[in-house]
């Protein structure tokens, strides 16, 4: 299906009203993009390609068909042997989602939520396959936070509903991905690096609702999961504030297979991982371009969990 220029002539097939034609185009796309002899598609060609894929998914009906197609499209990320090219395909996905999201009607929105979930999971597996290579992780976070990405605080085109959905599913999908490492000796996930896009968005978003969603759906549950049983019980009896509580069963794979920023140093225990993340949260809150109102909120969150650390490990804090 490829032309001599290396561009897949699949647009009209992806946009076909015939399901068999669309299905064949998706399979041809996976074959084309996974060919290591092909160069990475230029930005304009990638945008055209994703417009066709978006419409192809738009036309899918029946839940089982939608689920299978969502998985098949997301798995293309893993089919592409070049990690750089895979992230190029991912960038095209997010730019298409941000661009087209406002036009999705209420009858179709749930299947696009599902597609987003599949891509979050597949993205983690691509990074895990590359042993959490620092350059690739940085490229991934850049895709998520740059203009056109779903976690860019300065891009007014990013729909709030997409941001909320990502905050809701991010840790859950990371936990799922870590449950099936490619090898028994796979390196731990650099959790501080992977969470930086959300910490940065919490620091810079002008929306109080977006900030609250990130804190309630991601920051608080994570630190609750990294607490010990004693801290959870203490938190329940502490009348100064109301915090979520969690057990080791909340994100067990994240807790067991994560580090700060350098996977080669090996996984960190819960207490150490919690300290690393609190330090990262404080650093981002302290940055010059953090909004003042958000800075105060992040400092309050940091102080809450640091105080808990002191209450639980007084000797460590002395």
**Residue ranges per domain, the chain?**
191-318
Distance CA 308, CA 302 (A): 10
Distance CA 219, CA 237 (A): 21
Q: What's the pLDDT at 237?
A: 35
Helices 191-204 and 270-286 pack at an angle, to 10 degrees, of: 30
Among candidates 174, 188, 315, which has minimal Cα distance to 257?
188
Distance CA 61, CA 114 (A): 13
Q: How far is C-alpha 224 from the geometric centre of its chain's CA atoms?
A: 20
Beta bridge partners of 190: 259
Flag residues of the chain having pLDDT under 50: 1-5, 230-242, 315, 317-318
pTM strictly above 0.85: yes
Beta bridge partners of 237: none
pLDDT, tens digit, 9 for 90 and up, residues 35-71: 776 667 888 989 989 998 999 899 898 999 999 999 9
Q: What's the pLDDT at 3?
A: 44
Please say whether the beta carbons of 224 and 250 come within 8 A: yes
Query: 216 by DSSP, 3-state: which?
Result: helix
Please say whether the beta carbons of 147 and 197 come within 8 A: no
Tokens of residue 105, six digits: 């009607």
Distance CA 27, CA 302 (A): 48
Share of the chain above pLDDT 70, in %: 86
Please say whether the beta carbons of 276 and 189 come within 8 A: no
φ and ψ at residue 64, rounded to 5 degrees:
-65, -40
Is 219 buried (19+), middle (13-18) or exposed (0-12) by CB count in 10 A? buried
Angle made by CA atoms 180, 181, 183, in degrees to the nearest 5: 130
pLDDT, tens digit, 9 for 90 and up, residues 201-224: 999 999 999 999 999 999 999 999
Q: What's the pLDDT at 4?
A: 42
- Asked whether the CA dihedral 221, 275, 248, 316 is positive or negative, the reply is negative
Distance CA 109, CA 172 (A): 20
Tokens of residue 135, six digits: 């350059």
Distance CA 192, CA 93 (A): 24
Query: 189 by DSSP, 3-state: which?
Result: strand
Q: What's the pLDDT at 309?
A: 66
Tokens of residue 161, six digits: 């509903």
Tokens of residue 294, six digits: 């958000």
Please say whether the beta carbons of 200 and 290 come within 8 A: no
Distance CA 174, CA 194 (A): 10
- Asked whether the CA dihedral 302, 303, 304, 308 is positive or negative, the reply is positive
Where are any strands of DSSP class E within the chain? 189-190, 258-259
In the DSSP assignment, the letter for residue 215 is I
């Amino acid at each position: 299906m490829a032309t001599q220029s290396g561009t897949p002539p699949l647009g009209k097939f992806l946009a076909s009203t015939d399901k068999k034609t669309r299905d064949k185009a998706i399979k041809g796309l996976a074959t084309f993009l996974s060919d290591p002899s092909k160069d990475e598609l230029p930005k304009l060609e990638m945008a055209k390609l994703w417009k066709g894929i978006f419409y192809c998914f738009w036309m899918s009906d029946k839940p089982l068909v939608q689920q299978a197609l969502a998985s098949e499209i997301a798995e293309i990320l893993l089919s592409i042997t070049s990690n750089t090219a895979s992230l190029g395909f991912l960038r095209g996905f997010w730019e298409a989602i941000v661009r087209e999201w406002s036009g999705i009607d209420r009858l179709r929105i749930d299947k696009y939520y599902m597609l987003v979930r599949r891509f979050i999971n597949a993205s983690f597996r691509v990074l895990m396959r590359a042993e959490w290579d620092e350059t690739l992780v940085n490229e991934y976070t850049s895709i998520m936070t740059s203009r056109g990405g779903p976690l860019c605080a300065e891009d007014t085109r990013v729909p709030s509903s997409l941001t909320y959905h990502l905050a809701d599913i991010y840790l859950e999908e990371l936990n799922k991905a870590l449950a099936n490492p490619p090898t028994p000796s796979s390196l731990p996930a650099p959790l501080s690096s992977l969470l930086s896009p959300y910490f940065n968005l919490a620091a810079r978003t002008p929306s109080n609702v977006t900030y609250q969603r990130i804190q309630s759906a991601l920051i608080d549950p994570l630190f609750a999961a990294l607490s010990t049983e004693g801290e959870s019980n203490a938190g329940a009896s502490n009348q100064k504030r109301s915090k979520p509580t969690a057990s080791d069963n909340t994100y067990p794979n994240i807790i067991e297979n994560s580090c700060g920023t350098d996977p080669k140093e090996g996984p960190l225990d819960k207490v150490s991982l919690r300290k690393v993340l609190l330090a990262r949260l404080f650093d981002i809150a302290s940055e010059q371009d953090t909004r003042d109102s958000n800075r105060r909120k992040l400092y309050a969150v940091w102080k809450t969990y640091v105080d808990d650390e002191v209450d639980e490990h007084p000797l460590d804090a002395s």
